[in-house]
């Protein structure tokens, strides 16, 4: 059963679905931690659907806290630096790919000139092989970074759910 009590600091009403008496809960408005008192009121499931619970804040469902924020907005990334680095690797991959295509056309142009056939063939081969390997490597690094971020987010979410389950069992 959920518990309803007032924040010790700002007197805001808090509803906690998964915590019990004596546990600490963070207030959704002032951000300070309050201990759930023994005289907290029990709340029914039907009332939970209407009210905003503390567990909703922990789940990231804070749309009732900030009505100006659209539910369509993309959540802020936990790792903006890693996302930036991933984007840089994608940009480098595109740049190298464009450079390889330019090198390919330059090699083809050299082949039409007198005495430029060996140099043209060398530039074409180098552009195709080196360009392809570098582009694939940069894209793989970029996707690897995104994969690590995704794994961490998934692990973090799993830990939150396991914590809730353990609190519910207690």
Partners of 61 in the β-ladder: none
Whole-number Å distance between alpha carbons of 14 and 4: 6
Q: How do residues 157-169 score in pLDDT, each as one tens digit?
A: 898 888 888 888 8
Residue 43: strand pairing partners: 2
Instruction: Quote the CA–CA distance of 157 and 142 in Å, as a whole number.
Output: 23
Give the span between the Cα atoms of 136 and 129, in whole angstroms: 11
Per-residue pLDDT tens digits for 1-52: 677 888 888 888 888 777 778 888 888 778 788 888 887 777 776 665 544 4
CA atoms within 13 A on the CB side of 119: 8
Q: Is the pTM of this model over 0.75?
A: no
Higher pLDDT, 65 or 6: 6
């Amino acid at each position: 059963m959920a518990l309803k009590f007032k924040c010790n600091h700002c007197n805001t009403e808090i509803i906690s679905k998964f915590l019990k008496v004596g546990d600490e809960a963070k207030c959704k408005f002032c951000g300070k931690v309050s201990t759930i008192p023994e005289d907290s009121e029990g709340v029914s499931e039907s009332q939970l659907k209407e009210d905003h619970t503390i567990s909703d804040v922990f789940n990231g469902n804070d749309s009732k806290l900030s009505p100006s924020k659209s539910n369509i907005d993309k959540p802020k990334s936990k790792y903006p630096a890693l996302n930036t680095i991933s984007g840089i690797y994608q940009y480098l991959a595109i740049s190298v790919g464009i450079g390889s295509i330019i090198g390919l056309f330059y090699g083809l142009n050299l082949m039409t000139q007198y005495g430029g056939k060996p140099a043209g063939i060398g530039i074409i081969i180098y552009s195709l092989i080196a360009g392809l390997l570098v582009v694939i490597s940069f894209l793989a690094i970029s996707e690897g970074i995104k994969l690590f971020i995704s794994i961490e987010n998934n692990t973090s979410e799993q830990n939150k759910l396991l914590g809730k389950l353990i609190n519910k069992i207690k």
